[in-house]
C-alpha cells in the first residue's frame, strides 16, 4: 500500500488494486488446503490487530477478524452499545472502556497504539481520520483502517465490491480496468447516508464507469459529493425512480438499505414506505435486464429475502436468481480484506515468497516426523537451497524402518 492508513477509496491507485486482487487470488488458493493455510499464517505472524467498532457491524467486523486469523495475527476487539439522544438520533459508547469515565477518544487510541493495525468504525464522519492524525502526530507506527465513519466512507467494502464486479465480468485473473469504461452501475436506495456508495463511487468514477444514482430527492447523493464528482469528470446521472432506468442499459445494480434510524424526520414511516417503492423484485430485475445485483448488507425491505417456509417470498425475492451476486460479494469479504491487511502490514512479503515457500514445503520435511530434508546429497537437518531437494519419500532415518541412514551436516 502506498499510504500508511486506509481512510478513503480515493487512495487506491490502479497498480495497488491489481496487486490487491493478485493477493486475493493467492489467498483464496492457499486457503484451500491445510499446508496453504499454515503458510498464510506467516504473513502476520506475531502481528496484532485491534477492532474498535463503536457502531454495529456483522460483516466488516467479522470479516476483518477472519482476515486477521487467516494471516496469523492476534486479534483484540471492542464494540459499542447504542445510546438514544434527545433529538431521536443514536450514538454509540464503548461501555467497557474508560470512555465511560469521560476518557478522550484521542487518549483511547493512544492507549491502543501498540496494535500494528487498528480498524475503527464510528458514527461521526472524519473520526477515523482524526484518530489516524493523532497517532501519526505522536509517532505511533499503527496502521489505521476506516471500517466506516458516519456517512463518510467505507473503503474496504469498496475494494470488495470492485472485486465482485470483476468476478461477475469474468476477468479475475487479469482485472480488466479498461472494460469498466463500457460498464454502468445503478446505485439504488440511500445515496445520502450510504458510505459504501460514497466509497465505491470514488473507485468506479475514475475508471470511467457510468454511475446512475437512483433515489428519492431526500436520499440522493449529498450536494458536496455531486459537486466533487462533477469536478473530477465522473460520469454521473441522477434519477428519481427505478422506472426511469431504460431496460438493458444498466449492467450492475448496487442496492442499499435506507438508514431510517439515522434520519431525524418527523415521518419515519414515510421513509420506511419509500423502501417499498425502491424494492428489487424478480419482476424488476427481469424487466430492466440487470446483469448483477449487489448489496453491502444489512438488507431490509428493499431486497426481499427468500425463506424456505414462506411461499410468498418465493414469488418476489431474487435470492435464487443468477443475477443475485450479493452472497458472492459477502463471501469475498474476508479474503479481500486479508489481501488489504497483507499489503498494508507486510508489503515486504511478496506473492512469490509465499509461492517459493509453498514449493519448498512440498519438497521438504517429507516425513511424518518432519525432522529432516531429503536432498540430492542425502538427509539434511538444516534447510537447503531449493535446487537440492528431492521429492517426497515414505520414511527417513528418524522414523523409517531403517534408522541407520546417514544425516549430512551442512
Ligand atoms: C454497511 C455499513 O455499515 O456501512 N454495511 C457494511 O459494512 N457492509 C451498510 C449499512 O449499514 O447499511
Beta bridge partners of 120: 52, 146
pLDDT in tens, 1-22: 889 999 999 999 999 999 999 9
Q: Which atom number of ligand 1 is nearest to the Cα of residue 256? A: 12
The response to whether residue 62 sits with its C-beta less than 6 Å from ligand 1 reads no
Give me the mean pLDDT over the 262-283 stretch: 76
pLDDT at 263 over 70: no
Nearest ligand 1 atom to the CA of 59 is: 8
Name the pTM for this structure: 0.89
Residue bearing the CA closest to ligand 1, atom 8: 296
| DSSP letter (8 states) at residue 184 | E
Nearest ligand 1 atom, CA 148:
4
pLDDT for the residue 364:
54
Closest ligand 1 atom to 259 CA: 12
Whether the CB of 146 sits within 6 Å of ligand 1: no
Q: What is the mean pLDDT of residues 351-369?
A: 72
Residues 229 and 225: their CA atoms lie apart, in Å, by: 6
Residues with Cβ within 8 Å of residue 153, at least 6 apart in sequence:
7, 8, 9, 146, 195, 198, 199, 202
- Across the chain, mean pLDDT equals 91
What is the pLDDT averaged over residues 111-131? Answer: 98
- C-alpha cell at position 140: 505511533
Task: Confirm or reject: Cβ of 297 under 6 Å from ligand 1.
Answer: yes
Is the CB of residue 77 less than 8 Å from the CB of residue 61? yes
Per DSSP bridges, beta strands 81-84 and 90-93 are: antiparallel
Q: What is the pLDDT of residue 265?
A: 56
Residue that is written with C-alpha cell 465513519 in the block: 149
Q: In terms of DSSP H, where are the helices of 31-126?
A: 34-40, 59-70, 105-111
> Which grid coordinates belong to 49?
490487530
Q: How far is the CA of 156 from the centre of ligand 1 (A)?
A: 11
What's the rounded mean pLDDT across residues 67-87? 96
Do 125 and 151 contact (CB within 8 A), yes or no? yes
Instruction: Give 126's strand partners.
Output: none
What is residue 10's predicted lDDT score, i.e. its pLDDT?
98
The span from the CA of 360 to the CA of 83, in Å, is 54
Which neighbouring-strand residues pair with 48? 74
Strand stretches in 54-127, DSSP E = 74-79, 81-84, 90-93, 117-122
Atom of ligand 1 nearest to the CA of 121: 3
- Ligand 1 geometric centre to CA of 296 (Å): 6
122 lines ligand 1 (CB under 6 A): no
Task: Grade residue 262 by pLDDT with cuts at 50, 70 and 90.
Answer: low
Rounded CA-CA distance 298/313 in Å is 18
Where residue 297 falls (left for φ over 0; alpha for ψ -120 to 50; beta otherwise) is: left
Q: Which helix (H) or strand (E) holds 48?
A: strand 48-53
pLDDT for residue 382 = 80
* E strand or H helix at 307: none
Compute, in angstroms, the gap from residue 357 CA to the centroid of ligand 1.
37
Say how far apart CA 382 and CA 36 lie, in whole Å.
22
**Residue from 60, 90, 259 whose mutation best tests the ligand 1 pocket (most atoms within 8 A of CB):** 60
> pLDDT tens across 157-194, in order?
999 999 999 999 988 777 888 999 999 999 999 999 99
Residue 157, ligand 1, Cβ within 6 A: yes
The three cell numbers of residue 405 are: 541412514
User: Does 371 or 92 have the greater pLDDT score?
Assistant: 92
Which residue, judged by its Cα, is nearest atom 11 of ligand 1? 298
Determine whether the shortest distance from the Cβ of 257 to ligand 1 is under 6 A: yes
Distance from the alpha carbon of residue 58 to the mean position of ligand 1, in angstroms: 9
Instruction: Report CA 370 to chain centroid distance, whole Å.
Output: 36
Report whether the peptide linkage leading into residue 298 is cis, meaning its omega lies within 30 degrees of zero: yes
Q: Tell me the C-alpha distance between 211 and 235, whole Å.
A: 6
Percent of the chain scoring above 70 in pLDDT: 90
- Alpha-carbon span 89 to 25, nearest angstrom: 41
Q: How far is the CA of 264 from the centre of ligand 1 (A)?
A: 19
Q: Is 156 in the pocket of ligand 1 (CB under 6 A)?
A: no
Give the Å distance between the CA of 403 and the centre of ligand 1.
60
Which conformational region is residue 166 in: left (phi greater than 0), alpha (psi within -120 to 50 degrees), or beta?
alpha
Rounded to whole angstroms, how far apart are CA atoms 303 and 318? 8
Handedness of CA 288, 289, 291, 294 (dihedral sign): positive
At CB < 8 A and 24+ separation, what contacts does 267-273 make? Answer: 271/218, 272/301
pLDDT at 371: 72
The set of cell numbers assigned to 172 is 479475475
> Would the pLDDT of 144 be above 70?
yes
Amino acid at each position: 500500500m502506498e499510504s500508511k492508513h486506509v481512510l478513503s477509496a480515493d487512495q487506491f491507485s490502479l497498480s495497488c488494486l491489481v496487486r490487491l486482487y493478485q493477493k486475493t487470488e493467492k489467498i483464496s488458493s492457499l486457503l484451500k488446503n491445510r499446508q496453504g493455510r499454515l503458510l498464510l499464517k506467516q504473513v502476520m505472524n506475531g502481528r496484532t490487530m485491534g477492532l474498535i467498532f463503536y457502531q454495529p457491524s456483522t460483516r466488516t467486523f467479522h470479516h476483518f477478524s477472519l482476515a486477521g486469523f487467516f494471516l496469523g495475527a492476534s486479534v483484540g476487539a471492542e464494540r459499542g452499545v447504542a445510546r438514544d439522544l434527545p433529538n431521536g438520533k443514536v450514538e454509540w459508547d464503548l461501555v467497557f472502556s474508560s470512555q465511560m469515565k469521560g476518557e478522550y477518544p484521542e487518549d483511547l487510541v493512544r492507549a491502543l497504539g501498540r496494535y500494528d493495525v487498528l480498524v475503527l468504525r464510528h458514527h461521526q464522519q472524519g473520526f477515523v481520520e482524526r484518530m489516524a492524525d493523532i497517532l501519526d502526530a505522536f509517532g505511533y507506527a499503527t496502521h489505521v483502517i476506516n471500517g466506516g465513519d458516519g456517512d463518510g466512507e467505507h473503503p474496504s467494502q469498496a475494494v470488495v465490491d470492485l472485486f465482485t464486479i470483476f468476478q461477475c465480468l469474468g476477468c479475475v485473473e487479469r482485472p480488466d480496468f479498461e472494460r469498466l469504461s463500457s460498464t454502468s452501475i445503478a446505485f439504488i436506495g440511500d445515496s445520502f447516508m450510504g458510505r459504501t456508495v460514497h466509497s465505491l463511487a470514488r473507485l468506479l468514477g475514475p475508471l470511467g464507469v457510468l454511475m446512475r444514482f437512483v433515489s428519492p430527492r431526500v436520499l440522493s447523493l449529498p450536494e458536496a459529493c455531486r459537486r466533487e464528482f462533477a469536478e473530477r469528470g465522473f460520469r454521473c446521472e441522477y434519477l428519481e425512480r427505478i422506472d426511469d432506468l431504460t431496460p438493458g442499459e444498466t449492467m450492475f445494480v448496487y442496492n442499499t438499505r435506507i438508514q431510517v434510524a439515522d434520519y431525524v424526520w418527523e415521518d419515519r414511516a414515510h421513509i420506511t414506505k419509500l423502501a417499498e417503492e425502491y424494492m428489487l423484485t424478480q419482476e424488476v430485475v427481469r424487466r430492466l435486464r440487470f446483469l448483477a445485483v449487489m448489496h453491502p448488507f444489512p438488507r431490509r425491505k428493499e431486497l426481499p429475502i427468500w425463506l424456505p417456509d414462506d411461499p410468498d417470498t418465493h414469488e418476489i425475492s431474487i435470492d435464487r436468481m443468477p443475477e443475485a451476486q450479493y452472497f458472492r460479494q459477502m463471501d469475498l469479504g474476508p479474503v479481500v480484506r486479508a489481501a488489504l491487511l497483507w499489503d498494508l502490514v507486510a508489503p515486504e512479503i511478496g506473492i512469490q515468497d509465499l509461492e517459493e515457500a509453498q514449493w519448498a514445503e512440498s519438497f521438504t520435511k517429507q516425513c511424518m516426523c518432519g525432522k529432516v530434508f531429503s536432498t540430492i546429497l542425502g538427509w539434511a537437518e538444516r534447510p537447503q537451497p531449493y535446487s537440492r531437494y528431492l521429492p517426497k519419500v515414505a520414511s527417513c532415518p528418524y522414523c523409517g524402518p531403517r534408522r541407520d541412514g546417514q544425516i549430512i551436516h551442512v
